[in-house]
Every structure is written in C-alpha cells, then in structure tokens.
C-alpha cells in the first residue's frame, strides 16, 4: 500500500492549477445514461472515483468512446455513449468501492424504466442513508423495493409523472439525492418542483449540462428547482467546473505553511464561505489580475472577471486567529473542508470551535491530529481546538478522503517527518497531490509502505 513521507516545515510558494471537480463530474458522467447520443465532458479529473464510475457505466452499456489506446486516462476529455440499454444492474462489487454509484439510479430509471443498484452501505464518515433519493423517485411514480441488498426501481406503464417534492432531511438538503431526482424528472411527464433542493455548485453544473442536452430546468442554485419534463434528451459538450474542495485545500496549505500560492482556475464564487473564514483566520485571498473597480464586468468576488475560473493569490499572516465554524449545506462552510480547516485552527493563536452539521461523526482525523500534538477535545458533533505553536511529525493513518487531506496539511506544517499510511483514500479525490505539493516546495514522497524506513532524511 502507498504511503506518504513528508518532511514538514517548508514554506510553500508557486502556482497550482485547480482540476475539474470530482463531485461535479460524477453525476455529469452518470447523466450520459439519459440519452442515446454521445456526451462529451472536458476537464474530467483523473481520479480513482472517476475511473470506477466510468467502469460501472461500461457495465451498464454506456461506453467511453475516446479512451486512449495506451490505456491511460488521457487529457481529461471523456466522451460517454450509451449503446446498450438492456443492462441496468449496478453490482455490489463496484458500488461498495464508491457510494457515488448511486447517482446512476435516477438516470437509468428515467431512460430505461428499470434500475437495480446495490444499496450503498455506510462509510468512514457516517451512516449515509439514501432514503431521500428513494422518496423523491417514488414521488415521481417509481415503484421501489429493496431485495437482497439491491434497490430495485421500476417505472409503471404510464411513465414517470412530475410532482411537487420536499427533499429536505434531518441534515438539510441532499446533493446526490437532488441530482438523482432532478435527472429523473427531466424525462417525466409534466412539471416537477423540488423544494429544499441542494444549492451546491455541482448541482448547478449538472442542471446547466442537462439544459444543454435539452432539459428545461430553472432555479438551479436556489432551494427550489422547477423541471419541465421533455420526451428525450440529446448529447452535449460540457466543461466541468473546477473543484472547490481541491482549491480550498490548497488555500489551507498556504495557510499552514505561511505560504504564498497562486491558484489558477479557482472557483472563488463557490468558495465564499470558506474564504470568509480564512479571512477571519488571517489568510489573504486576492485576485491576481483584478478587473478595474469601475469595470461593468467586475464581479462582487474579489474583482475576478470570471468568478468560477479565477486566478487568486493566497498568502497568510504569521499569526493565525481562532474562529468558530459550523459546517452547513452550500452556501455554508462545506463539510468537505472541515478536516483541513481543523489543521489550520490547530495552529491558531487561541481556542476555536468546529461543529459538524452534515456528517456529525466525520471526525476520524481528530485522533490522528492529536498524535501530532494538536490539542483537540470532541463533544459529539463539536470539536474544541486549542491552538498550539507547533505540530510534530508522526506516523498517522488516513481514514477517508478529506481526513487524509487534513493530515497531509498537518504533515506539511509539522516539524520533522510525518508518515501517512493508506493514501489510496486521498487518491480518490486529489490528482497527484504529492507532485503538485512538491512543485510548490514541499518535501513529500510516495513510497510503498515496506520502503518507508529506507527514505533518507533530506540534508
Ligand atoms: N442524507 C439522508 N438521507 C439521504 C441522503 C442524505 O439523511 O437519502 C443525509 C446524509 O446522511 C448527510 C446529509 O443528508 O447527513 C447530506 O448528505 P448528501 O446526500 O448531501 O451527501 P452525498 O450527496 O452523498 C455529496 C458529496 C460528499 C459531500 C456531501 C455533502 C459527492 C459524490 N459526494 O455526498 O463529498 O460531503 O455531498 O456536501 O458529491 C467528498 O468529496 O469527500 C464527499 C464525501
């Protein structure tokens, strides 16, 4: 198994280009099941989760038509073409490797009238039920049963029919649940209104692509989505939005190393809450080429011309200030940056509080950060963080994708050597993170766990 060996304490500086968003690309890829025409996506990130979904789509009769002959992932352009609509079973063997496989349910059901998909189990960040997905699809008329661990969903003879659906749950809206119900409703008869829809930028991107395919969706980005059903959808050519979580993670890498990093292709419009808290902490995020204040194009967001593909420079003060943060659905502070922010606050000058309102058990990084000298006390969904002057390198265990990112940041900031085991978690969401950090001046290596002892300490 791969392991990262990090020699901490280096100040990061330089430029990094933000990749296409994983969590946008997954439902966009699944939406290719909604049509028999090719769907071309650009800037798809080269990640384990993406490759798993492409493999699953292949098993569902939707093939990638532009796979490079050398078997590599290619330049990020991925064209999917649904050519065999008789295959509608997403097997446990694939679904268990990636919960996001559930985003094939709505598209398969709507286009093929039938879908069988293994019920995703819980994962390291919590229980993760799919009851809201099923409730929303049932409201469109789908007949849903669970048998042998599989969700079996059928469309009755009259087809799916639009409805008004409240999709909120105990933790607010659901991102992939909204993606599933919205996708299915594009081919339902009549109008569907989704109330308490997820407002995440990834849902906006999906709605925009579905509209390019011929859907009639309005309200994306707000909690009320209105979808007027159409009889069929066509193909399209679509560029995936940049990854706000990857961007936020590199911003925080600048924060913990007192660094100076320029992020290209940065979706600042999708990061306003994170940037607000970083501001409070003492991290500065400024547009590289601000549009003149008098320009009619000037957006409200740090003067960037295109606030979803901006160039920003991130620098931090030597002293980080404490802050109180609660994770919330978008536009609140994202749960996917909670672990990374905890590392930043572990080094702040005072006491901070983080409350996790989306996945109340998403705290596996707490014990690992404590091994590096962080002072953390957890009470249920809340962690009190008493800032320390320094973290100290230690062997730690990655447990899930974002917890791993938090540990990498801690390793970059810590004195001495940090060894992070099980970095396959990180590879699910960050493309070649070690190469990109090295280009920014970090001392980080990927080695097999058996070779860790042989890695020399740099002079
Ligand atoms: N929930 C329910 N019932 C449901 C669905 C969700 O109670 O039927 C609850 C969840 O247990 C959770 C909350 O609602 O407490 C929100 O979950 P949501 O459905 O929004 O999560 P998701 O769609 O499964 C996506 C991202 C996650 C991200 C969450 C929250 C993808 C592929 N995954 O998951 O990303 O944390 O939204 O923003 O888009 C990650 O990238 O590391 C990651 C975990």
Write the pLDDT tens digit of every residue in 108-149: 999 999 999 998 866 778 788 999 999 999 999 999 999 999
Please give the average per-residue pLDDT across 357-382, as a whole number: 97
- Whose alpha carbon is nearest atom 40 of ligand 1? 336
323 in the same domain as 223: no
Domain that holds residue 146: 22-231
Residues 218 and 255 in one domain: no
Q: What is the pLDDT of residue 290?
A: 63
Q: Is the residue at 459 inside a domain?
A: no
Q: How far is the CA of 232 from the centre of ligand 1 (A)?
A: 29
Angle at 429 between CA 76 and CA 150, to 5 degrees: 100
Q: Do residues 44 and 143 both lie within one domain? A: yes
Q: Whose CA is nearest to atom 37 of ligand 1?
A: 175
Asked if the structure places residue 429 within a domain, the reply is yes
459 C-beta neighbours (distance < 10 Å), count:
3
Q: What is the per-residue pLDDT across 296-350, written as a single tens digit (0 to 9) for each?
A: 555 555 667 788 999 999 999 779 999 999 999 999 999 999 999 999 999 999 9
Residue nearest to atom 18 of ligand 1 (CA): 174
Pocket test for ligand 1, best of 172, 174, 362 (most atoms within 8 A of CB): 174
Assess whether pLDDT exceeds 60 at residue 212.
yes
CB atoms within 10 A of CB 301: 20
pLDDT at res. 96: 87
Bridge-partner residues for 284, per DSSP? 315
Higher pLDDT, 162 or 123: 162
Together in a domain, 111 and 157: yes
Q: Would you say residue 274 lies in a domain? A: yes
**Counting atoms of ligand 1 from 1, which one is nearest the CA of 202?**
39
Instruction: Kindly state whether residues 289 and 432 are assigned to the same domain.
Output: yes
State the Cα–Cα distance between residues 15 and 205, nearest whole angstrom: 26
261-299 pLDDT, tens per residue?
Answer: 999 999 999 999 999 999 999 999 998 876 655 555 555
Distance 130 CA to ligand 1 centre (A): 9
To test ligand 1's pocket by mutation, which of 21, 176, 200, 244 has the most ligand atoms within 8 angstroms of CB?
A: 176
Examine the domain organization and report whether 264 and 209 are in the same domain: no
Question: DSSP state, 95?
Answer: H
Of residues 420 and 298, more confidently modeled: 420
Ligand 1 centroid–CA 408 distance in Å is 23
Q: Strands 395-397 and 417-421, how do they pair?
A: parallel
In this structure, the strands spanning 13-17 and 443-448 are: unpaired
Q: Is residue 55 included in any domain, yes or no?
A: yes
Residue 248, pLDDT score:
98
The per-residue pLDDT for 293 is 54
Is the pLDDT higher at 171 or at 305?
Answer: 171
Mutate to test the pocket of ligand 1, among 21, 23, 170, 428 (most ligand atoms within 8 A of CB): 23
Ligand 1 atom at minimum distance from 245 CA: 41
Domain boundary among 231, 255, 284: 231
Biggest distance spanned by C-alpha atoms of the chain: 72
What distance in angstroms lies between residue 176's CA and the mean position of ligand 1's atoms? 7
Domain's final residue, options 186, 203, 231? 231
418, pLDDT greater than 90: yes
Q: At what angle do helices 272-281 and 338-346 cross, to 10 degrees?
A: 10
Q: Which residues make beta-bridge pairs with 14?
A: 261
Sheet hosting strand 417-421, strand order edge to edge: 395-397, 417-421, 2-7, 443-448
Domain assignment present for residue 96? The answer is: yes
Strand partners, 415: 392
CA of 242 to the centre of ligand 1 (A): 19
236 within some domain: no
Give per-residue pLDDT as tens, 52-107: 999 999 999 999 999 999 989 999 999 999 999 999 899 998 888 888 999 999 99
DSSP H stretches of helix in 257-385:
272-281, 338-346, 364-371
Residue 29's pLDDT is 98
Is the pLDDT assigned to residue 9 strictly greater than 90? yes
- Which atom of ligand 1 approaches the CA of 26 most closely? 32
Average pLDDT, the chain: 94
pLDDT of residue 364: 94
- Whether 450 is covered by a domain: the verdict is yes
Nearest-CA residue for atom 2 of ligand 1: 129
The residues pairing with 286 across neighbouring beta strands, listed in sequence order, are: 313
Q: Which of 53, 99, 169 to mutate to test the pocket of ligand 1 (most atoms within 8 A of CB)?
A: 169
Place of tokens 């050597």: 417
- Which CATH number does the domain housing residue 217 bear? 3.65.10.10
Q: Where does ligand 1 bind, in terms of residues with CB under 6 Å? A: 23, 26, 100, 126, 128-133, 169-171, 174-177, 335-336, 358-359, 401-402, 429
Evaluate the CA torsion angle 172, 173, 176, 180 in order and state its sign. Answer: positive
Ligand 1 atom, smallest distance to 402 CA: 42
Residue 297 burial (CB < 10 Å; 0-12/13-18/19+)? Answer: exposed
172 with 249, same domain: the answer is: no
Pairwise CA distance, residues 362 & 372, whole Å: 19
Contacts of 129 (CB under 8 A, 6+ apart): none
Q: Looking at the structure, do residues 8 and 52 belong to the same domain, yes or no?
A: no
Q: Are residues 323 and 433 in the same domain?
A: yes
Residues labelled catalytic: 123
346 φ/ψ angles, rounded to the nearest 5 degrees: -60, -20
Specify whether 112 is located in the same domain as 255: no
Quickly count helices (H) and strands (E) in the chain: 14, 24
The structural domain count of the chain equals 2
What number does the ligand 1 atom closest to the CA of 132 have?
8
Q: What is the pTM of this model?
A: 0.96
Instruction: For the chain, give the number of residues.
Output: 459
Question: To 5 degrees, how large is the angle CA 103–CA 165–CA 118?
Answer: 30
Q: Which of 231, 254, 269 is the last residue of a domain?
A: 231
Whether residues 225 and 273 fall in one domain: no
184: in domain? yes
Q: Are residues 259 and 157 in the same domain?
A: no
Beta carbons within 8 Å of 424's beta carbon, 6+ residues apart: 1, 2, 48
pLDDT score recorded for residue 289: 73
Instruction: Pick the more confident residue, 306 or 159.
Output: 159
Mean pLDDT computed over 178-191: 98
Q: What percent of the chain has pLDDT over 90?
A: 86
Cα dihedral 184, 187, 188, 193 sign:
positive
Strand order in the sheet with 62-64: 62-64, 78-82, 39-42, 236-239
């Amino acid at each position: 198994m791969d392991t990262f060996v990090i020699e901490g304490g280096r100040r990061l500086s330089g430029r990094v280009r933000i990749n296409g968003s994983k969590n946008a690309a997954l439902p966009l890829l699944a939406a290719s099941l909604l049509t028999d025409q090719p769907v071309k996506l650009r800037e798809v990130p080269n990640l384990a989760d993406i490759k798993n979904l492409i493999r699953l789509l292949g098993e569902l009769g939707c093939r990638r038509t532009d796979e490079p002959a050398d078997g590599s992932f290619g330049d990020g352009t991925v064209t999917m073409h649904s050519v065999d609509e008789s295959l509608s079973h997403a097997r446990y063997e694939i679904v268990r490797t990636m919960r996001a496989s559930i985003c094939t349910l709505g598209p398969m059901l709507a286009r093929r009238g039938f879908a069988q998909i293994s019920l995703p189990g819980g994962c390291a960040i919590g229980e993760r039920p799919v009851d809201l997905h099923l409730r929303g699809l049932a409201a469109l008329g789908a007949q849903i049963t669970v048998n042998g661990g599989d969700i079996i969903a059928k469309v009755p003879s009259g087809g799916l029919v639009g409805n008004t659906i409240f999709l909120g749950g105990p933790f607010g809206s659901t991102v992939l649940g909204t993606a599933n119900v919205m996708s299915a409703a594009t081919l339902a008869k009549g109008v569907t209104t989704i109330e308490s829809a997820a407002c995440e930028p990834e849902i906006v991107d999906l709605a925009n692509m579905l509209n390019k395919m011929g859907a009639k969706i309005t309200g994306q980005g707000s909690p009320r989505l209105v979808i007027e059903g159409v009889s069929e959808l066509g193909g399209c050519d679509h560029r995936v939005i940049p990854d706000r979580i990857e961007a936020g993670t590199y911003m925080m890498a600048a924060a913990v190393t007192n660094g100076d990093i320029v992020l290209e292709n940065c979706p600042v419009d999708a990061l306003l809450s994170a940037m607000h808290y970083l501001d409070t902490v003492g991290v500065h995020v400024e547009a590289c080429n601000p549009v003149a204040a008098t320009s009619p194009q000037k957006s409200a967001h740090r003067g960037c011309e295109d606030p979803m593909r901006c160039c920003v420079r991130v620098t931090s003060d030597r002293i980080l200030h404490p802050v109180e943060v609660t994770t919330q659905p978008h536009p609140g502070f994202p749960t996917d940056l909670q672990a990374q922010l905890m590392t930043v606050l572990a080094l702040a000058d005072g006491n901070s509080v983080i409350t996790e309102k989306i996945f109340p058990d998403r705290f596996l990084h707490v014990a690992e950060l404590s091994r590096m000298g962080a002072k953390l006390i957890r009470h249920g969904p809340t962690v009190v963080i008493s800032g320390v002057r320094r973290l100290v390198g230690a062997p730690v265990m990655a447990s899930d994708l974002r917890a791993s990112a938090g540990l990498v940041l801690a390793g970059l900031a810590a004195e001495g050597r940090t060894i992070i085991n099980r970095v396959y978690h990180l590879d699910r969401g960050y493309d070649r993170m070690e190469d990109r950090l090295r280009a920014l001046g970090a001392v980080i290596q990927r080695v097999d766990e058996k070779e860790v002892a042989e890695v020399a300490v740099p002079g």
